[in-house]
Amino acid sequence: MTPIRVLIVDDSALVRQTLSDVLRSDPEIEIMATAGDPFIAAERIRERVPDVILLDVEMPRMDGITFLQTIMSQHPIPVVICSSLSERGSETALRALEYGAVDIVTKPKLATHQFLRESRQMLCDVVRAASTARMRVIQQVGPALTADAVLSPASCSAMARTTEKVVLIGASTGGTEALRVLLQAMPADAPGTVIVQHMPEKFTTAFAARLDGLCAVNVREAENGDTVLRGHALIAAGNRHLLLKRSGARYLVEVRDGPPVRRHRPSVDVLFRSGARYAGRNAVGVLMTGMGDDGARGLLELKQAGAYTIAQDEATCVVFGMPREAIRLGAAARVLPLPAIAAAMLEACE
């Protein structure tokens, strides 16, 4: 197998070295070169084109956003943004996704082994996904916990019926733009919606605020105990699981700690399983673009509980991993292109 050639662009030599060490632990990945700023990176690209670029946002001489726009207009290459967790940095990184970046990863916390221990596999997975979007199946490496680690399976007995519908959505790589398209197509009185988008901690606040300014529905980061209301969409906070709960005829959410499930926290499988338990046939489940298989088994549990389930089709996915696995399991009642999902979702809620 030809290694995935990676170019790391960051003004910190220590960050470049840390990222190089992490990625070299994966035999499928080769560090083609490193660069301290975009001008040096441009020279490296002229010498040899990488398969993936890991790009910092704030750098001397030229910022990462400008460099990204140049790459996408002249020679598109998969770019993963490597950003700090500051509020300003998160907003800038989210803008990079609009300009064509594939994903965001958290910049290494230097002088700590915890980052390497917790993020090594995630970083390697993101690089592999960026290099192979819809070209080959993303391989999972090593053990992965299931939703059992956070929530036991739903029982066969359903809760008392309610007429209120709830929409549950899961997405990963490519999901930030896919969610924008989906939520912008929803009316102001759309059914209450709960979303898990794989994203680093502290990025989700800025992401929710950005969507809130673009959509008719109200969008914000979920807080523990929030009621799921019509015309509102709640997005899981980074690094915390989000579960659907029910009190009488009212749906609410629980924000919970717990181990990563399918290597993710928040996990789509956890949200979908909670939906199968507490909403059942009153739920509509949607699984969108993303690497790996998080959400596939949860979508099947939703379907088995009577929910209406939708998977995004391959042609409109940035990475056809999660939906592909759900389709393989028979979890999706319908497989639809992104522009058609909102209408089908709303029709199922009527």
Residues assigned a catalytic role: 172, 198, 294
Q: How far is CA 315 from CA 252, 319, 335, in A?
A: 34, 10, 11
Residues 6+ apart with CB under 8 A from 160: none
Residues 6+ apart with CB under 8 A from 285: 168, 169, 170, 272, 275, 298, 299, 302, 303, 307, 308, 309, 310
Of 29, 197, 41, 35, the residue nearest 129 (C-alpha)? 29
- The residue whose two tokens read 């995630």 is 122
Q: How far is CA 137 from CA 3, 133, 294, 325, in A?
A: 16, 9, 14, 10
If phi > 0 it is left, if psi is from -120 to 50 it is alpha, else beta; for residue 258 that is left
User: At 336, which amino acid appears?
Assistant: L
Judged on CB neighbours under 10 Å (0-12, 13-18, 19+), 296 is: buried
Residues 70, 72: Cα–Cα separation, whole Å: 6
Residue 292: its H or E element: none
Residues 6+ apart with CB under 8 A from 155: 277
Greatest alpha-carbon pair distance for the chain in Å reads 65
- The residue whose two tokens read 């929710």 is 208
Residues 17, 213: Cα–Cα separation, whole Å: 39
Residues 16, 13: Cα–Cα separation, whole Å: 5
Residues 299, 322: Cα–Cα separation, whole Å: 10
